[in-house]
A and B are shown apart, each in its own frame.
Chain A
Amino acid sequence: AAGVIQSPRHLIKEKRETATLKCYPIPRHDTVYWYQQGPGQDPQFLISFYEKMQSDKGSIPDRFSAQQFSDYHSELNMSSLELGDSALYFCASSLGDGEQFFGPGTRLTVL
């Protein structure tokens, strides 16, 4: 069965650079969620989209923005990167408010 696809899987950036993470949900899923998992931490909710509209907002810094496109894929844009942004970024997708299925994550390292 098709799963959530995230790209890239690994990303290394310098401080103050920008990064774009992409998420392709399971086919026919219309809702996308972004979570950030710091080293040794539990995943923290950042933001979610339903039918291309932002549905919920969590602890997402103002330096980050995200959107969902007409094909339901989503992109998380991160600017002015800081060392503390180094984390595993997960995307999850669901059909409406159903179960969330997580992608493999993008590991971002900020040097």
Chain B
Amino acid sequence: GEDVEQSLFLSVREGDSSVINCTYTDSSSTYLYWYKQEPGAGLQLLTYIFSNMDMKQDQRLTVLLNKKDKHLSLRIADTQTGDSAIYFCAERRNAGNMLTFGGGTRLMVKP
């Protein structure tokens, strides 16, 4: 989506940490989400953060939100080959419940 931007590609080695970044433009965003999509599959909700939070941790996943800079990141600790997928960030704005997605970041994990 043109209002939500992500880098296209990230390559890491197994066991390393991965950091996927996302920037958005609408300051009225209420919730920000991370979805994972494996080839030919649906969108799996990984985690989300409310806009009044700075950080959320869920097992290997850490979400950081810098609302001033409208920057969202997803850190995956101890990245595994099974984490290889496309990761989409998405924002939900104040008006309406539809999600606006970023273009997706393809994460490749090398053994």
Interface residues of A (CB under 8 A from B): 31, 33, 35, 41-45, 48, 55-56, 58, 90, 92, 94, 97, 99-105
Q: Which residues of chain A come closer than 8 Å to B100, judged between CB atoms?
A: 45
B45: contacting residue among A35, A41, A58, A101, CB under 8 A: A101
Q: How many residues of B contact A (CB 8 A)?
A: 19
CB distance from A52 to the nearest CB of B (A): 16
Cα–Cα distance between A68 and B40 once the two chains are bound (Å): 26
Q: Which residues of chain B come closer than 8 Å to A33, judged between CB atoms?
A: 97-99
Q: Which residues of chain B come closer than 8 Å to A104, judged between CB atoms?
A: 41-42
B42: contacting residue among A41, A55, A56, A105, CB under 8 A: A105
What is the interface of chain A mostly: helix, strand, loop, or mixed? Answer: strand
Cα–Cα distance between A42 and B96 once the two chains are bound (Å): 19
Q: Which residues of chain A come closer than 8 Å to B101, judged between CB atoms?
A: 42-44
> Is B97 touching A31 in the complex (CB atoms < 8 A)?
yes
> Is B35 touching A102 in the complex (CB atoms < 8 A)?
yes
Smallest Cβ-Cβ distance to A34: which chain B residue: B98
Known: A58-B98, A94-B97. A102 touches B42 (CB 8 A): yes
Q: Which residues of chain B come closer than 8 Å to A44, judged between CB atoms?
A: 1, 101
> Is A48 touching B98 in the complex (CB atoms < 8 A)?
yes
Q: Add 4 more A-B contacts to A42-B101, A55-B96 (CB < 8 A).
A: A44-B101, A45-B100, A94-B97, A102-B45
B residues 65-111 with Cβ under 8 Å of A?
88, 96-104
CB distance from A51 to the nearest CB of B (A): 13
CB distance from A64 to the nearest CB of B (A): 16
